[in-house]
Amino acid sequence: MKVLVINCGSSSLKYQVIDSDTEAVLAKGLCERIGIDGVLTYQKTGSDKIKIEAPMPAHKEAVSLVLNQLMDPETGVIKSIDEIEAVGHRMVHGGEKFACSTLLTQEVLDTVASVNDLAPLHNPPTLVGVAACKELMPTTPMVGVFDTAFHQTMPAASYIYGIPYEYYEKYALRRYGFHGTSHKFVAKRTAEILGKNPEDINVIVCHLGNGSSISAVKGGKCVDTSMGLTPLEGLIMGTRSGDIDPTIIQFIANKEGLTLDETMNVINKKSGVLGISGVSSDFRDLGDAAKAGNERAQIALDAFAHRVVKYVGAYAAVMGGVDAIVFTAGIGENDIGTRASIASRFAYLGAEFDAEANNIRGEEAFISTPDSKVKLMVVPTNEELAICRDTVEIVTDLMAK
Ligand code: ADP
SS3 205: strand
Residue 9 pLDDT > 90, yes or no? no
Query: Edge-to-edge, what's the strand order for the sheet holding 39-44?
Result: 49-53, 39-44, 24-32, 13-19, 2-8, 84-91, 142-146, 102-103
Does the Cβ of 330 fall within 6 Å of ligand 1? Answer: yes
Ligand 1 atom nearest to CA at 208: 6
**Percent of residues, the chain, with pLDDT higher than 70:** 100
Which of 21, 110, 147, 200 is the catalytic position? 147
Residue 329 pLDDT > 90, yes or no? yes
Mean pLDDT of the chain: 96
pTM beyond 0.85: the answer is yes
What is the rounded distance in angstroms from the CA atom of residue 260 to the CA atom of residue 183? 32
Does the Cβ of 384 fall within 6 Å of ligand 1? Answer: no
pLDDT at 117: 85
* Each residue's pLDDT tens digit, 253-293: 999 999 999 999 999 999 999 999 999 999 999 999 999 99
pLDDT at 118: 85
Number of H helices, E strands in the chain: 14, 14
* Each residue's pLDDT tens digit, 116-163: 888 887 888 899 999 999 999 999 999 999 999 999 999 999 999 999
Ligand 1 atom nearest to CA at 283: 16
pLDDT at 10: 84
SS3 177: coil
User: pLDDT class for 368, splitting at 50, 70, 90?
Assistant: very high
Residue 399 pLDDT > 90, yes or no? no
* Each residue's pLDDT tens digit, 219-245: 999 999 999 999 999 999 999 999 999
User: pLDDT class for 321, splitting at 50, 70, 90?
Assistant: very high
The reply to whether 147 belongs to the active site is yes
The span from the first CA to the last CA of the chain, in angstroms, equals 18
- Answer whether 222's CB lies under 8 Å from 154's CB: yes
Q: Among 260, 266, 215, which Cα is nearest to 241's?
A: 266
CB atoms closer than 10 angstroms to residue 103: 16
7: region left, alpha or beta (phi > 0 left; psi from -120 to 50 alpha): beta
What is the rounded distance in angstroms from the CA atom of residue 199 to the CA atom of residue 152? 17
- Answer whether 151's CB lies under 8 Å from 177's CB: yes
- Answer whether 311's CB lies under 8 Å from 192's CB: no
Q: For residue 338, list its beta bridge partners.
A: none
Average pLDDT over residues 73-97: 95
What is the rounded distance in angstroms from the CA atom of residue 326 to the CA atom of residue 308? 12
